[in-house]
């Protein structure tokens, strides 16, 4: 939807899960041979100023990336992601938060390709400013679902696809699984990450049930930081479906998501933090 701007939520706990797992996935894919094509359905602006008025409205980064950066014993895969974030933040307090397009650009090689879809006019313009003349990057002002549905295997490229709508439309909970299934059928080598929110009212259950029947091989990765409450609203966690990844890679991702759950878990004896907006 054109109303959604991620700046209001940049660097929150759900972002940390999504971006840390994407960082690990691309690092593991980079060990192979040949070109990588990274595709994202809802790219946003790529780099977020945490001092902007939008980010300061809810200050969700304070319980997200700021907590992760201060955590002790993060483990090697989370530590590698946090090291990437620190490259944008020479001071201790985080100011700049790299979104998934910037993570991809920072990890991929000069011969790789990056295809980004973003419909929101302001976010699209900011995305173009972020990447300037990077020859690897193509930015489409297009429906990301439609762009991804056209993916076909290239002669050399291995595809990494991130499907991450805002879920303002309830239909997205089923559409993301259908899209992943369609891309997987067209390109069996594609590595697909489907991000989804874990909501207080459990509405993501329809997505998980659809995935269980349509994508039974998908690894389910989740980080949860508050107890579900059918009467509450908002995020209590976040998850990813990992499709088309080798089993050993899926195991690494699951261990990483478990680590992130522990990082955001309230201290023993403390009340769990409430749902995010």
Q: What is the set of active-site residues?
A: 164
The SS3 assignment for 149 reads helix
Residue recorded with tokens 């990447």:
131
How many Cβ atoms sit within 10 Å of the Cβ of residue 150? 10
Tally the residues of the chain: 277
Sheet strands (E) in the chain: 36-40, 47-49, 96-98, 113-117, 137-140, 158-163, 191-199, 219-224, 235-243
Are 10 and 99 within 8 A, CB to CB? yes
Are 225 and 5 within 8 A, CB to CB? no
Q: Which of 159, 113, 118, 158 is nearest to 136 (CA)?
A: 113
The SS3 assignment for 27 reads helix
Sign of CA dihedral 11, 14, 15, 20: positive
Element (H, E) at 172: helix 172-186
Q: Largest Cα–Cα distance of the chain, in whole Å?
A: 56
């Amino acid at each position: 939807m054109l109303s959604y701007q991620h700046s209001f939520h940049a660097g929150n706990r759900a972002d940390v899960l999504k971006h840390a797992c994407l960082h690990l996935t691309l690092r593991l894919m980079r060990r192979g041979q040949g070109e990588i094509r990274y595709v994202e359905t809802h790219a946003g602006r790529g780099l977020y100023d945490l001092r902007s008025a939008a980010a300061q409205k809810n200050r969700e980064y304070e319980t997200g990336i700021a907590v992760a950066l201060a955590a002790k014993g993060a483990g090697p895969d989370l530590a590698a992601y946090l090291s990437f974030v620190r490259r944008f933040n020479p001071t201790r307090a985080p100011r700049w938060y790299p979104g998934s397009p910037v993570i991809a650009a920072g990890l991929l090689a000069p011969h790789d390709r990056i295809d980004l879809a973003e419909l929101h006019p302001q976010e699209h313009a900011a995305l173009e400013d972020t990447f300037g003349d990077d020859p690897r990057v193509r930015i489409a002002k297009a429906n990301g679902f439609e762009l991804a549905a056209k993916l076909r295997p290239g002669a050399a490229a291995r595809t990494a696809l991130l499907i991450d709508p805002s879920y303002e439309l309830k239909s997205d909970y089923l559409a993301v699984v259908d899209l992943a299934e369609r891309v997987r059928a067209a390109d069996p080598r594609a590595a697909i990450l489907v991000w989804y929110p874990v909501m207080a009212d459990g509405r993501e259950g329809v997505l998980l049930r659809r995935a269980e029947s349509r994508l039974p091989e998908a690894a389910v990765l989740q980080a949860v930081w508050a107890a579900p409450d059918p009467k509450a609203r908002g995020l209590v966690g976040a998850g990813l479906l990992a499709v088309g990844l080798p089993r050993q890679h899926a195991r690494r991702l699951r261990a990483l998501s478990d680590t992130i759950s522990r990082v955001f878990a309230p201290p023993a004896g403390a009340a769990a933090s409430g749902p995010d907006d």
